[in-house]
Amino acid sequence: MILLGIDLPNIDLLVGLEALPPPDSGCHVRRMGWQSGGKVATGLCAASALGVPTALLGALGDDLYGRGVRRNLARFGVDDSGLITQAGCRTGMSVILSDRESGGRRILHQPGTARLELSSAGQARIPHAAALYIRRLGGVELAAARIAREAGVPVVIDMERGDPVVLEHLDLITSLIGSETCYHDTFPGAGRADVECHARALAARGPRDVLFTFGAGGVAGVADGRYHEQAAFPVTVEDTVGAGDVFHGVWFGLRLEGADPETCSRYAAAAAAIKCTRPGGTGGIPDRATLERFLRTGEIDYDRIDARCAWYAANALLD
pTM for the full predicted model: 0.95
State yes or no: pLDDT of 94 exceeds 90: yes
Are 160 and 39 in contact by the 8 Å Cβ rule? The answer is yes
Check residue 105 and give its pLDDT.
84
* Structure confidence at residue 104 as a pLDDT band (50, 70, 90): confident
**For the residues 158-185, what does the mean pLDDT come to?**
96
**Burial class for 139, CB neighbours closer than 10 Å (0-12, 13-18, 19+):** exposed
Closest Cα to residue 172, out of 146, 135, 151? Answer: 146
Residue 281 in this model has a pLDDT that exceeds 90: yes
Domains and CATH numbers, the chain: 3-20+31-309 (3.40.1190.20)
Average pLDDT over residues 51-67: 96
Q: Find the mean pLDDT for residues 77-95.
A: 96
pLDDT, average across residues 108-131? 94
Q: How many angstroms separate the CA atoms of 10 and 16, rounded?
A: 19
| Interatomic CA distance for residues 271 and 157, integer angstroms | 18
Contact 198, 217 (CB under 8 A): no
User: Which of 252, 319, 255, 306 lies closest to 46, judged by CA?
Assistant: 252
Please state, rounded to an integer, the average pLDDT across all residues of the chain. Answer: 95
Give the per-residue pLDDT at 315. 82
Sheet holding 54-61, edge to edge: 79-86, 54-61, 3-7, 131-134, 155-159, 175-178, 209-213, 219-223, 226-230
Counted residue by residue, the chain has a size of 319
90-112: average pLDDT = 90
Alpha helices in the chain (DSSP H): 39-49, 64-76, 120-125, 139-150, 164-168, 180-186, 195-203, 243-256, 261-276, 288-297, 303-313
Q: What pLDDT, on a 0 to 100 scale, did the predictor assign at position 152? A: 97
Percent of the chain exceeding pLDDT 70 equals 100
Count of other CB atoms within 10 angstroms of residue 293: 14
- Whether residue 316 has pLDDT greater than 90: no
pLDDT at 128: 97
Which of 186, 187, 253, 254 lies closest to 42, judged by CA?
253
Label residues 23-46 b or e (16+ Cβ within 10 Å = b): eeeeeeeeeebbbbbbbbbbbbbb
Q: Give the pLDDT band of residue 314 (cuts 50, 70, 90).
A: confident
> Is the CB of residue 74 less than 8 Å from the CB of residue 311?
no
The predicted-structure confidence for 134-155, as pLDDT tens digits, reads as follows 999 999 999 999 999 999 999 9
The region of weakest confidence among 27-31, 39-43, 221-225 is 27-31
CA 68 to CA 72: how far, in whole Å?
6
